[in-house]
Copies of this chain bind each other. A is one copy, B any other.
Amino acid sequence: MTSDLDLPDDLFLFHPGDAEDARRTLSFRRTPTVLLTFAANRFTRLASREYQARFGIGAMDWRMLVMLAREPGTGVNHAARTIGIDKAAVSRSLRRLADLGLARLDDGSTAARGAWRLTGQGAALHDRILDVALDRQSKLLDGFTRAEVSAFADYLRRFLGNLDDMAADGTTQTNATQRSD
């Protein structure tokens, strides 16, 4: 609990300089949660548009491709918990991917416990988009040293951990996101 000592609220507040009738409120430039939200929204929107235009799938479907590339045989629930979105959205995304011929159910899998994997076509598309995604990311991390990138990722992981703690406090059901590798 170092935060109470080291992080006075004042650090994050915007103080109306020449006053008029502005109020004491959040600083946009110094408040991590604000910056985080801005950055993620803009990033997702841009990526979604580009992937849709170039490859015909959205950002959500791309995430599912990665998920299936990483863990063939994944089910809806596991995927939803891993990437932290609703299982309904996952279910619909998988249906889209199946319709496009990019993913399929394992032969032995029932409707109740589906095991999904990429088709050959899906794997090929995944590899193509992966190149683009890495290129985009390298542009977005332009100017970062390797150590800074590591620190950035470390901060985000810790933030996510605290987020899981907070979510676990609020609800009985432990719905915390699973993260591996």
Binding site for B on A (CB under 8 A): 1-4, 6-7, 9, 11-12, 14, 16, 20-33, 35-44, 46, 50, 66, 69-72, 82-85, 117-118, 123, 126-127, 130, 133-134, 136-146, 148-149, 151-153, 155-160, 162-163, 165-167, 170, 177, 179-181
Contacts and interface: CB of A to CB of B under 8 A. Distances in A.
B160 A38 contact: yes
A2 B66 contact: no
A35 B139 contact: no
B127 A160 contact: no
A118 B25 CA distance: 13
A126 B26 CA distance: 10
Given A28-B180, A72-B20, A9 B134 contact: yes
How would you classify the secondary structure of chain A's contact residues: helix, strand, loop or mixed? Answer: helix
Contact of A12 (B33, B84, B134): B134
A159 B155 CA distance: 14
Copies in the complex: 2
A149 B7 CA distance: 8
A57 B99 CA distance: 38
9 closest A-B pairs by beta carbon, nearest first, are: A40-B40, A35-B156, A25-B69, A23-B69, A6-B146, A152-B155, A140-B162, A3-B142, A9-B134
